[in-house]
Chain A
Amino acid sequence: MNISTKWLFSALLGATVNLATAHAGELRVGIECTSFPFNYRDANGNYAGYDVDVANEIGQRLGDKVEFVCQKWDGMIPALLANKFDLVVASMGITEERQKKIDFSRPYRISVGRFVAPTGAKLALFKPDGTLDPEAFKSIKVGLQRSTTYDDWLKAKMPNASVMRYDTVEALFLDIKAGRVDTIMTNPMKAHDAFLSKPDGAGFGFVGPEISDDKLFGAGAGVGLRKGNEALLAKIDKAIAGMTDDGSLDRFSKKYFPFPIYPRDWKPATTN
Chain B
Amino acid sequence: MLEELWRWSGPFLQGSLVILLVFLVSLVLTVIWGLIGASAKLSNNRVARGAANAYTVIFRGTPEFLVLLLLYFGSAITLTALAKLLWPETRFVDLSPFWAGSIAISLIVGAAATETFRGAFLGVDQGQVEAGRALGLRRFQVFMLIRLPQMWRLALPSFGNHLNSLVKDTALISVIGLQEIMFTADMAASTNSMPFAMYFTVALIYLAFTTVVTAVIRRLERRANHFMLAAR
Interface residues of chain A, those whose CB is within 8 Å of chain B, are: 2-5, 7-8, 11-12, 14-19, 21-22, 33-36, 40-43, 45, 69-72, 74-75, 78-79, 81-84, 168, 170-171, 173-174, 194-195, 198, 200
Contacts and interface: CB of A to CB of B under 8 A. Distances in A.
Contacts of A19: 93
A34 B77 CA distance: 26
A72 B175 contact: yes
B176 to A, nearest CB: 7
B189 A170 contact: yes
Given A7-B11, A8-B18, A170 B80 contact: no
B18 A74 contact: no
Contacts of A195: 193
Interface stretch (B54-62, B106-114, B180-188, B214-222): B180-188
B44 interface: no
Interface in B82-122: 90-99
A48 to B, nearest CB: 9
B94 A17 contact: yes
B17 A15 contact: no
Q: Considering the complex of A and B, which 10 residue pairs feature the smallest CB-CB distances, nearest first?
A: A14-B96, A21-B91, A4-B10, A82-B76, A34-B190, A34-B186, A170-B195, A15-B98, A18-B94, A36-B190
Contacts of B177: 69-72, 75, 79, 84
B91 A22 contact: yes
Nearest to A8: B14
Contacts of A74: 175
A90 to B, nearest CB: 13
A4 to B, nearest CB: 4
Residue of A16, A34, A173, A200 ringed by the most chain B CB atoms within 10 A: A34
A35 B189 CA distance: 10
Given A170-B193, A174-B195, A34 B187 contact: yes
Given A22-B91, A82-B73, A42 B98 contact: no
Tier of interface size on chain B:
35 or more
A39 to B, nearest CB: 9
B96 A18 contact: yes
A168 B80 CA distance: 31
Given A21-B90, A82-B77, A198-B193, A168 B98 contact: no
Chief secondary structure at chain B's binding surface: helix
A15 B92 contact: no
B29 interface: no
Given A34-B186, A71-B177, A11 B98 contact: yes
Given A43-B10, A43-B11, A194 B190 contact: yes
B190 A170 contact: yes
Contacts of A22: 91-92
B159 interface: no
28 contacts: A5-B14, A8-B17, A11-B98, A14-B97, A16-B99, A17-B99, A18-B95, A19-B93, A21-B93, A22-B91, A33-B186, A34-B189, A34-B190, A43-B10, A69-B177, A70-B183, A72-B175, A72-B177, A74-B175, A75-B177, A81-B73, A82-B77, A84-B76, A84-B177, A171-B195, A173-B195, A195-B193, A198-B193
A252 B92 CA distance: 33
Given A78-B73, A170-B190, A173-B193, A15 B94 contact: no
B170 to A, nearest CB: 12
Contacts of B93: 17-19, 21
B73 A79 contact: yes
Given A17-B95, A18-B96, A19-B93, A200 B193 contact: yes
B29 to A, nearest CB: 13
Contacts of A200: 193
A19 B95 CA distance: 9
